[in-house]
Amino acid sequence: MPQDLAIVLLSGGMDSCVTAALAARQHELALLHVSYGQRTAERERRAFEQIADFYQITRRLVCSLDHLKAIGGSSLTDDTIPVADAALESPEIPASYVPFRNAHLLSIAVSWGEVIGARKIFIGAVEQDSSGYPDCRQAFYDAFQRAVELGTKPQTRLEIVTPLIRLRKSEIVRRGVELGAPFHLTWSCYRNSDVACGRCDSCVLRMRAFAQAGVKDPIPYVSDPGPGDGT
Binding site for its own copies (CB under 8 A): 61, 63-68, 70-73, 93, 97-104, 106-108, 110-112, 114-115, 134-135, 137, 139-140, 143-144, 146-154
Q: Which is nearer to its own copies, 63 or 88 (CB)?
A: 63
Q: Which is nearer to its own copies, 5 or 103 (CB)?
A: 103
Q: Shortest gap between Cβ of 153 and its own copies (angstroms)?
A: 6
Q: Which is nearer to its own copies, 161 or 181 (CB)?
A: 161
Q: Which is nearer to its own copies, 13 or 94 (CB)?
A: 94
Number of helices (H), then strands (E), in the chain: 7, 5
Helical pair 169-179 and 14-24, crossing angle rounded to 10 deg: 50
SS3 at position 70 = helix
Q: Which is nearer to its own copies, 72 or 163 (CB)?
A: 72
Q: Shortest gap between Cβ of 102 and its own copies (angstroms)?
A: 7
Task: Work out whether the CA dihedral 98, 100, 104, 109 comes out positive or negative.
Answer: positive
The 10 Å Cβ neighbour count of residue 59 is 15
Q: Which is nearer to its own copies, 47 or 98 (CB)?
A: 98
Q: Which residues, including other chains, have CB under 8 Å from residue 86's CB and lie 6 or more apart?
A: 199, 200, 201, 203, 204, 205
**Does residue 200 contact residue 38 with C-beta atoms inside 8 Å?**
no
DSSP 133: -
Q: What are phi and psi of 6, to 5 degrees?
A: -130, 140
- DSSP letter string over 164-212? TTTS-HHHHHHHHHHHT--GGG----SS-SSSB-S-BHHHHHHHHHHHH
Q: Shortest gap between Cβ of 191 and its own copies (angstroms)?
A: 22
Q: Which is nearer to its own copies, 28 or 78 (CB)?
A: 78
Q: Shortest gap between Cβ of 192 and its own copies (angstroms)?
A: 25
Q: Shortest gap between Cβ of 120 and its own copies (angstroms)?
A: 16
Q: Shortest gap between Cβ of 2 and its own copies (angstroms)?
A: 21
Q: Shortest gap between Cβ of 154 and its own copies (angstroms)?
A: 8
Burial class (CB in 10 A: 0-12, 13-18, 19+), 89: exposed
